[in-house]
Every structure is written in structure tokens, then in C-alpha cells.
Structure 1
């Protein structure tokens, strides 16, 4: 598996900036989700009318119930962030179905997502509990726990990034190896035989990795706030 080559490279002082396909794919996904969200939420009625609003309300209630069951009703204000995160990661994991390598097989993508989650958790905790209580939480249940608590907070984004990156990369490599093996037999073998692999590694595994990432985000948010 060869790494993507930069589409465009330019210098910012001594720093070399590479624009790789993963960045373009993410921008396309963001644009797609934005247009879809605008279309899905325009002209909403107080009483559902038509299949579009029924589907939108079903998805919202699904995410709302997931947050309620894992964090509690007092955390419903995180629903927009959790919902956006889940949809964005799921679509990135499913790009293999259209012949595009998942951006999440690149560690720079997963670490960026994890850092966004890390910043969100810290900012949300400060807004929820206040900055004094936030920093005081590092010394609980006793002051000697301060280094361990700091290390625990710092390791969260690394753990999230490595878990998502490792699983998606492994799935991508396995699918590519199967395609290489089938191509050595006959080109027609590549048409139908890989379908079960895509069903598992792209759809099932992609959805599972999204669920794990989102669940760990919710759990760590709740733990940090209540620490």
C-alpha cells in the first residue's frame, strides 16, 4: 500500500505544506453533509409531514437516546457535537464502498479528530463546572494523583487516534491484499468475490469503529465533568 502523494505543496516560510487527497476527501464530505443537513432541515413543521422529516426526527431521537442512556439527560447539550462526529466518521469509514480509501487510515486524520474531542471535553468541562473546579479535579481524590490524572487526560487523544487508525488501516490492507491476489487469477474474479469483504470491513467494521470512538468520547466527557 503506497501512501498518497501530495496534490499541492507550497512553502510557508521554512515550513512545507502538503495538501493530500485525504484533506480534499474530508472537505468534500463536509460539503456533502452540510448540503444534506440544509436540505433535510429546511421547511420543518411542528407535526411531521412527509418521509424526510420523519427520517430526520428518527435520527435525532436515536442520537438523543444514545446520549441519554450513556451520559444522562443533563448532557443533552452535547447531542449536536456527538451527532456530527458520528456522521462524519461513519461517512469517512464508508468511502471504501465507492473505491476511495478511507481518510481514517491516515494517522494525521485520526489524531486531528482526537484532538478536537480532547479540546471539546476540556472546554465543555470548564463551561459546565467552572475553571476553578476543572483544575481542582486534577488533584482528586488526593493531591498525589496529580501526575497520573494529567497523564490520563493527555493519553486520551492518543488512545482514540491509534484505535481508529489501526483498525481502519488493517481493514484497508486486508482488502487490498485480497484484490491483488484475485487480480493474479483473473480480472473477473475481482467483480463478485470481494463483496462480502466490503460488507464486513467497510460497512460493519466501519460502523463499529465509529460507535467505539463516539462511545469513548461520551464516556470520557461524563467522567471528566464528574471527576
Structure 2
């Protein structure tokens, strides 16, 4: 197994914290998205220009995604679902610029899955009350309590492993493709992997984002209404 070597260390209260590539890539993406949001939302006009039209198209897409899959009463989740769509898309597409997608680091996918897990549980308790929430674990019969508990706990596990597994598989296949082309000319190494990059970095990366967002919306709605 290849050892993960930190890019650099940060001193924090006397502790040396190693910053690996996946963490640094996330910081860069967060900074870039923040800058773009500031630039795209400055000086908004009643009659939108091209820049504002792009932003409004993205917002309409996310609004419709939440409305069509969850319903009008769940529009409060637009900011969170929108964050998942934008942030996860950016994470998964970094392979297009030669950076290993941070989502091949299981700690990254697990953190995202745990955030979704706690939001799902919090909203369910807020909506149906603590008593009804725990009562749902013994319905329709008390003896299925262990099954209901396992089903609930498996949410972050399945979300994190699905994203991690698919993105890791893509990276491994790309590495194998480049290794196989090592004996060919540099031109062949430049041209032949393009279709593979198109599928695993672009198509599969966006598909995994959609799956993660859809499962998040479904679980929020289903558990809150159980």
C-alpha cells in the first residue's frame, strides 16, 4: 500500500498537522468557489447580463432538482443540496486538470456522508418529534428494532463507500491505462487516454455527484415522513 505523504505541516497548539493532497485540493476548491460566488453575485441587476444569467440558470437547476424530488415544502434544503452539487462536482472533476480527485480519500467521502447523516436525523427529529422518531425504530413490530437500527446506520456507510469506490476505480483504471501506454510514443499517451478521461473524470464524476445528491434528498424526505 502506498504511504500517504503530507504536502506540508501546520502547527496548531503545539501539534504538527500534516496536510495531504486531498485536503489541500479541497481548500483550493472552497477558495475558488467562494471567489466565483462573490464575482457572480456582485451588482445584480433587474435585467440580467450574461454572468447573472449563468448564475440564475444554475440556481433554477438546483431549485427544480429539489422541488421535483422532494416537494415545495423542502425548498429550505436548496442551499445544502446546491452545496453538494457544486462542491462534489468540483472534487470529482479535478482529474481533468491532472489532480487526483479528493474523493479517492475515504476520509473525504465519509465526512460528506456523515454530514448528510446528521442532517437527515436532525430534520426528522425536528419534523416529527423525538418520541415519534424513536418510535419509528420499533414499527411495525418491536422485534425488527435491530434491523431498523442497522438500516439507519448503514446510510453514511453506503453513501461514503459508493462514492469512494467508484471514484477510486476510475483512478486505478486511468493509472493502468497510462502504464500500458508507457511503451508507446508520447503522442499516443496524450491522445488515447482522452476517451477514458471523458468517461471516468467527467461522466462518472458527475454521475456520482447526482447519485449522492439524490440519495441525500430521498433519505431526508423518507425518514422525516416515516
> Structure 2 length as normaliser, TM-score?
0.92
SS of residue matched to 1:167? helix
SS in 1 for 2:99: coil
Q: Is the 1:115–1:157 contact (alpha carbons within 8 Å) kept by the matching residues of 2? A: yes
Residue in 2 that maps onto 1:42 = 42
Please list every run of 5 or more consecutive structure 1 residues that lacks an aligned counterpart in the other structure: none
- Unaligned runs of at least 5 residues, structure 2: none
RMSD: 2.1
Q: How does 1:136-215 map to 2 (within 5 A)?
A: 136-215=135-214
Aligned residue for 2:7? 7
Q: Aligned with 2:186: secondary structure? A: coil
Aligned match of 1:132: 131
Alignment partners' CA distance in 1, 2:3 and 2:171: 12
- Deviation, 1:54, is 1.4
Give TM-score, length-normalised by structure 1: 0.91
The Cα offsets for residues 59-98 of structure 1, whole Å up to 9 and x where unpaired, read as 1111111111111111111010001011111111100000
- The worse-fitting range, judged by mean Cα deviation, of 117-126 and 164-173 is 117-126
Q: Comparing 162-171 with 126-135, which one deviates more in the overlay?
A: 126-135
1-structure distance, mates of 2:205, 2:100: 12
| Counterpart Cα distance in 2 of 1:139 and 1:31 | 45
In the aligned structure 1, how far is the partner of 2:43 from the partner of 2:140? 51
Instruction: Assess, with a 3 A threshold, how the Cα gap between structure 1 residues 214 and 159 changes in structure 2: closer, same or farther.
Output: same
**Alignment CA distance shift 1:133-1:30 (3 Å):** same
Question: Which residue of the partner structure matches residue 25 of structure 1?
Answer: 25
SS at match of 1:18: strand
- Tell me the matched-pair count: 225
